Structure 1
């Protein structure tokens, strides 16, 4: 489970102004990323990680547009394949072995995913060291 929601925005200063307006604060000190924002009442955290999703490596056509019922605002979320590939890239780095388990769980939950796209994305994220067959067993 993740501790925050990662965001990307080409207009980070404006996004951060809006977060402040909504009551979010930027915690400081040990254990806090300089990119992180948290709402003290909601205990909801966001981290602005980049200006484009996955540094532009994701297929933009696969990013889904979501409009919550009754809302006019929309947001976009990555495809499951891109989420798995991102976790496999972190797993492959050796710095985040727990990401292999997250990748395996997502893989098990979505049997109808695009396996060819997923394999290509994992190879990109792992610099060619891993593919779909290297996802750990859930």
Structure 2
């Protein structure tokens, strides 16, 4: 039995198939980032509504999406940046061509296999925590601190030196690991 919602698992399977098709065509796999990556690393504690993807060749991925049966939502009041797959109820959006604007160590990206034939890549948990901290530090997404803390608390074997450096980079040196360890009033736990 999976720790994730059935529709989320279906989305992961679909992403893996699309990713593997990119490789068959001679291109790099897309990298899963954002909320769906948080849902994976949190074991479903934090749920998401979409899959954010980084891929260098968005034109090729969009063609693979079309061939796989994805559609762009259309109609009044519907944003058209993303893609949906039939009745899955989850959106897929290409958010960038370069992982975290080149700040992330590409060698830390992990492979997530869903079968013997299909897999996708996912941002490292350290870079994901740092990204969440950067969004929190911007002042526009206070809930991201909670996500970062959840990931930090659930993750073992973190590279603490790398994590500290990446959080400092993403937050303009305003925050570090101590922020993740501090309580609601900012007191270190």
Q: Same fold (TM over 0.5)?
A: yes
Partner SS for 2:71: coil
Matched, 1:85 2:130: yes
- Report the alpha carbon displacement of residue 36 of structure 1 after superposing the two structures with TM: 1.6
Change (3 A) 1:52 1:4: same
Match of 1:76 in 2: 121
Which deviations, in whole Å up to 9, do the C-alpha atoms of 1:72-113 show, x marking residues without a partner? x43211111111111010011011111111001000101321
Matched, 1:101 2:146: yes
User: Which residue of 63, 80, 84 maps to 1:17?
Assistant: 63
Whether the aligned pair in 2 keeps the contact of 1:37 and 1:47 (CA below 8 Å) is yes
- Report the alpha carbon displacement of residue 11 of structure 1 after superposing the two structures with TM: 0.7
User: Which residue of 105, 115, 119 maps to 1:59?
Assistant: 105
TM-score, normalised to structure 2, is 0.65
**Aligned-pair Cα RMSD in Å:** 1.9
- Report the alpha carbon displacement of residue 130 of structure 1 after superposing the two structures with TM: 1.1
Residue segments in structure 1 that go unaligned for 5+ positions in a row: none
- Report the alpha carbon displacement of residue 15 of structure 1 after superposing the two structures with TM: 0.6
TM-score, normalised to structure 1, is 0.87
Q: Which has the higher contact order (CA 8 A, sep 6+)?
A: 2
Residue segments in structure 2 that go unaligned for 5+ positions in a row: 1-46, 185-189
- Report the alpha carbon displacement of residue 40 of structure 1 after superposing the two structures with TM: 2.9
Matched, 1:133 2:189: no
For 2:71 and 2:174, locate their aligned partners in 1 and report how far apart those are by CA, in whole Å: 39
For 2:149 and 2:123, locate their aligned partners in 1 and report how far apart those are by CA, in whole Å: 17
